[in-house]
Amino acid sequence: MSLLAHLKIVDGKQVARLKAAVFVAATAPFLLLALRGWNSWRGQPFSLGANPIEFITRDLGDRTLIFLMITLALTPLRRLTGWNWLIRMRRMLGLFAFFYASLHFVTYIWLDQFFDVRDIVKDVIKRPFITVGFLAFLCLVPLAVTSTNAMVRRLGGKRWQALHRLVYAIAILGVVHYWWLVKRDIREPLIYAAILTLLLGLRIYWNLQKRQNTTVTTTAAAQRV
């Protein structure tokens, strides 16, 4: 309990430490994947299995979705816990989502399709699950590019925020991408869909509540006049 209470008031030095810890944790999945790759190469256990490229693609796709969900969870979590520092992790975690998405994308282009442009174009046009995945990745790029403080200033807070609302669409496309890919067992995509519904639902709920409150206050104010 004391720890939870302590987490409410965090100074700059502690934020830096928390950031470092989150950075290490967020890099771990990549290092584990690299270790599996190394073990595959040496023929050791804890490897990439019989179909390494599929394993890598799935793993990186999973990480992308997880980091998207974590990034989207920070705002509601801050509101529920009062831990304001959470928001200072958001940019880094969002960039990790982009990092894993880029690796996922490169794996597809390089290891899976081996730069066969004709096949890739055909895939993107003809395969709905690839279409939405590709679209989601394209939308992520401007968010990553405009993630610096300088870009926030250049765009202006309002416009920057409007642009970064794209992340909601990206997350939905990402989950659809996974859903449309699986053959039959939709349990895992369903879990992502449920989490995303909760995260977006909370926002909608709070927004509606806020609007209602403003209406109530304005009516009350009007009545007083």
Partner 1 sequence: MIIKIPADIVPSEITDKQLYLKRREFLQLGAVTGLAALASAILAPLDALALAKLSVAKKANATTEDALTPLRDVTGYNNFYEFGTDKSDPADYSSTLKTLPWTVAVEGEVKRPKVYDIDELLKLAPLEERIYRLRCVEGWSMVIPWIGYSLNELIKRAEPTGKAKYVEFTTLQAPEQMPGQKSPVLNWPYVEGLRLDEAMHPLALLCVGLYGEVLPNQNGAPVRIVAPWKYGFKSAKSIVKIRFVEKAPLTAWNRAAASEYGFYSNVNPDVDHPRWSQAKERRIGEFGKRKTLMFNGYADQVAQLYSGMDLKKSF
Q: By CB under 8 A, is residue 122 in contact with partner 1?
A: yes
> Between residues 25 and 32, which has the closer beta carbon with respect to partner 1?
32
Distance (Å, rounded) from C-alpha 75 to C-alpha 140?
A: 19
| Minimum distance of partner 1 from residue 44's CB (angstroms) | 12
> Contact at 8 Å (CB) between 8 and 15?
no
Phi and psi at 110, nearest 5°, equal -95, -65
# residues near partner 1 by CB under 8 A: 20
| Minimum distance of partner 1 from residue 173's CB (angstroms) | 16
Distance (Å, rounded) from C-alpha 95 to C-alpha 212?
A: 35
Q: Is 186 helix (H, G, I), strand (E, B) or coil?
A: coil
Q: Tell which positions 92-121 bind partner 1, by CB under 8 A.
A: 111-112, 114, 119
Measured CA distances, 24 to 71, 75, 80, 144, 156 (Å): 16, 22, 25, 20, 31
Q: By CB under 8 A, is residue 201 in contact with partner 1?
A: no
> Between residues 83 and 134, which has the closer beta carbon with respect to partner 1?
134
- Among the listed ranges 29-37, 71-79, 178-186, 203-211, the one in contact with partner 1 (CB under 8 A) is 178-186
Could you tell me the two tokens for 16? Answer: 């830096």
Question: Of 3, 115, 157, 185, which one interacts with partner 1 (CB under 8 A)?
Answer: 185
Write the DSSP symbol of residue 49: -
| Minimum distance of partner 1 from residue 32's CB (angstroms) | 17
For partner 1, what does the binding mask look like between residues 45 and 74, x meaning CB under 8 A? Answer: ----xxx-xx--------------------
Nearest Cα residue to 7 out of 92, 66, 68, 89: 89
Distance (Å, rounded) from C-alpha 190 to C-alpha 213?
A: 34
Structural element, H or E, at residue 50: none
| Minimum distance of partner 1 from residue 169's CB (angstroms) | 22
Question: Of 30, 129, 168, 179, which one interacts with partner 1 (CB under 8 A)?
Answer: 129
Residues that bind partner 1 (CB under 8 A): 49-51, 53-54, 111-112, 114, 119, 122-123, 126-129, 180-181, 183-185
